[in-house]
A and B are shown apart, each in its own frame.
Chain A
Amino acid sequence: MSALLEVRGVRKRFGGVEALAGCSFRVEEGSITSLIGPNGSGKTTLFNAVTGFATPDEGDVELRGEKIQQLSPDRIYAKGLGRTFQQVRVFPRLSVLENVLVATSHSSVAQGLRTRTGASERERAMEILEYVNIARLAGVPAGSLSFGQKKLLEIATILVGEPKLLLLDEPAGGVNPTMTQQIGDKIRELNARGITFLVVEHNMEFVMGISHRVVVMARGKVIAEGPPDVVRRDPAVLEAYLGA
């Protein structure tokens, strides 16, 4: 397998804190890779560095061999890299359908001024809403959805852009066991259709259940990497979690 995403020696400093201290790892094409680590180990900063929300001070982020660390978030998204946020984020005053439609439109401003959000896009958006079981809420303002529904909407919004690589920040955070199961199933299903995943998650059972590979971070660095059952027994990992 080839690397879809490769992170090489990425450093990011916020004032006196070095959030990423030379972080390197790769995400193989077609895999579900999980990123775990104690709080403050730099997982979210890494997500931001990969998706253009924070420019690395040093190091490279490559998507299929192309350096993307200087690009803006919208350009990176257009290259097929979608993300969700740790706190669930929807466009609260837009309807559920409009939330998804926003993400279909990575056109230029001039083009966007000329085009209305057309019937074909609506159809596709509705299909995706059906897929995550919230199509019946299409006309409702997204701000009035329940927490779990917002999570599903977030995933639908990202999916409509047909990403090659999806970065999910705590997809199972704060949802009930049934929905955790549902979200895990969807991830596996989408993976089978060819989408590569990089998942940050604290729920170990969830991580071990879905991942092909697990990357463990501590203090801004990768300290272990490998298949779930190998990582689980790695003494460095245990120490990072228990001794931190």
Chain B
Amino acid sequence: MKPNNMLAAGVISLALAILLPLTVLGSSSAGVIAFVVLVLAALWAVYTIEKRRALLTSLIGVIAAIAYPLVFNSTEATTIMFFALLYVAIASSWNIIGGFTGYISLGHAAFFGLGAYTIALVADRLGLSGGYGLFAVALLGGVAAGLFAIPMGYIALRLRTIHSFVIVTIAFLFMYQLLAFNLQDATNGSSGLAVPQPDWSGAFFNIPFYFAALLLAVLTVGLAAWIRNSRFGLGLMAIRDDEDKAAGVGVDTWKHKFTAYVISAVPIGIAGAIYAYFSSYIYPQTVFDPMIDLTIVLSAFLGGMGTLLGPILGSLVLQPAQQLLTLYTGAAGWDLVLFGVLFLVVILLMPSGIVPTVVERMRRARVQEAVRKADALSQDAVPDAAAEGGQG
């Protein structure tokens, strides 16, 4: 076995030994944490060992996510993971424009809010009642977000600098918040809007929401993966690396950025609608909330911007941490302190995020291993791997 695999195997056995007994504790928070850590460890292990790892890893992840509410059916446990999965979708979607293309939007909460208000208004105007049918209406939230994103993207991407893009996107968010406060006739202003509730009772209440969030997360990650492996996605990443050069080799940069922006709005709109349905009542300041954008960026940043796995990992770590912190301290605000500290730590220790840092370390370890082997074989020959790894 290679040292890497041995390390991975060691980590899994250790994790199993410590964590399995904890998961038996059922719905306790320790059990939840244990479960999440266990799944992450297993995913990482498979990712490092298995060759055809992408499919298998995602399959394990999805199965674990489906099994989760069967193991932990308390309201707290399912709420925590509901938010985690919702943010997996949101951050993965944001990553299409923010990570792949490098255009950091700080205003994607606008789409979250648009989705939320869409479901509330549609349900209200059509006199819909709660139930599974409202999840279909949540899709309209995505449609609305996509439609609004067309003129917004057109404006935000007029100037070809990332700085102006960031500022314009923030401005949009606050513009929508102001509109939601002031268009009283439509939005009911600061009194907010109610979303009709289903008659699901007790611990079961969360379950449909949980699976809606899971489905959205799976589809969004699938969408991001599709884009990542397409010609279009390669164009986006070329723009991130050098926009002029990309144009110089035939990438229609404006259309690429614009399309990425509009696509990334849709899943976030749906997420906003699901959130609105889940929380039963929405206010301008809770759905057009700049904190949502900070959370998205921090999740993507923590995991590794521009990678597929990064936003998933970031959300799965950050959301449970935030929810548990709020649950235990009983006071709002500590999660903000956590965010601040985390942000500093990530910037200081691994500025490119968890996933790229780990991948780079592994690559270096492989190169060093190859060099050692080549050296052992022949003292005179120049090892090829050394030549490749040592460039620059």
Given A93-B241, A116-B230, A117-B234, A103 and B250 contact (CB-CB distance below 8 Å): yes
Residues on the A chain within 8 Å of B259, using CB: 109, 113
Once the chains bind, are B249 and A112 in contact (CB under 8 Å)? no
Q: Is A161 an interface residue (CB 8 A)?
A: yes
Q: In this complex, what residue of B is CB-closest to A118?
A: B231
Residues on the A chain within 8 Å of B255, using CB: 108-109
What total of A-B pairs shows CB separation below 8 Å?
117
Chain A 77-99, CB within 8 Å of chain B: the 1/0 string?
11000110100011111100010
Q: Is B272 an interface residue (CB 8 A)?
A: no
- List residues 202-241 of chain B with CB under 8 A from any CB of chain A: 226-227, 229-232, 234-235, 237-238, 240-241
Residues on the B chain within 8 Å of A82, using CB: 248-249
Cα A114 to Cα B259 with chains together (Å): 13
Contact of B241 (CB < 8 Å), options: A94, A111, A116, A137: A94
Q: In this complex, what residue of A is CB-closest to B227?
A: A113
Contact of A105 (CB < 8 Å), options: B247, B248, B251: B251
Q: In this complex, what residue of A is CB-closest to B251?
A: A74
Contact of A109 (CB < 8 Å), options: B249, B256, B392: B256
Contact of B245 (CB < 8 Å), options: A91, A93, A116: A91
Once the chains bind, are A98 and B248 in contact (CB under 8 Å)? no
Residues on the A chain within 8 Å of B392, using CB: 143-146
Please give the number of chain B residues whose Cβ is less than 8 angstroms from any Cβ of chain A in the complex.
32
Residues on the A chain within 8 Å of B247, using CB: 52-53, 72-74, 77
Q: Is A101 an interface residue (CB 8 A)?
A: yes
Once the chains bind, are A102 and B235 in contact (CB under 8 Å)? yes
Cα A108 to Cα B256 with chains together (Å): 9
Q: In this complex, what residue of B is CB-closest to A144?
A: B392
Once the chains bind, are A78 and B250 in contact (CB under 8 Å)? yes
Once the chains bind, are B244 and A91 in contact (CB under 8 Å)? no
Interface residues on A, range: 35 or more
Cα A73 to Cα B240 with chains together (Å): 17
Given A89-B245, A102-B235, A105-B235, A161 and B250 contact (CB-CB distance below 8 Å): yes
Q: Is B380 an interface residue (CB 8 A)?
A: no
Contact of A116 (CB < 8 Å), options: B231, B240, B244, B306: B231
Given A98-B234, A102-B251, A145-B391, A53 and B246 contact (CB-CB distance below 8 Å): no
Q: Is B253 an interface residue (CB 8 A)?
A: yes
Once the chains bind, are B250 and A77 in contact (CB under 8 Å)? yes
Chain A 57-87, CB within 8 Å of chain B: the 1/0 string?
0000000000000001111011000110100
Given A98-B234, A113-B230, A136-B388, A93 and B250 contact (CB-CB distance below 8 Å): no
Q: In this complex, what residue of B is CB-closest to A147?
A: B392
Given A140-B388, A146-B391, A85 and B248 contact (CB-CB distance below 8 Å): yes
Cα A106 to Cα B391 with chains together (Å): 30
Cα A146 to Cα B388 with chains together (Å): 10
Cα A158 to Cα B248 with chains together (Å): 9
Residues on the A chain within 8 Å of B244, using CB: 53, 73, 85, 89
Residues on the B chain within 8 Å of A75, using CB: 252
Cα A109 to Cα B236 with chains together (Å): 11
Residues on the B chain within 8 Å of A44, using CB: none
| Extra contacts besides A112-B256, A149-B391 (6): CB < 8 Å | A78-B250, A90-B241, A91-B237, A94-B234, A102-B249, A136-B384
What are 27 residue pairs bridging A and B, where the CB atoms are less than 8 Å apart in the complex? A53-B247, A73-B244, A73-B247, A74-B250, A74-B251, A74-B252, A77-B250, A89-B245, A91-B242, A93-B237, A93-B306, A94-B234, A102-B235, A102-B251, A103-B250, A105-B234, A106-B251, A109-B232, A109-B252, A112-B230, A113-B231, A115-B230, A117-B231, A117-B234, A137-B388, A144-B391, A158-B249
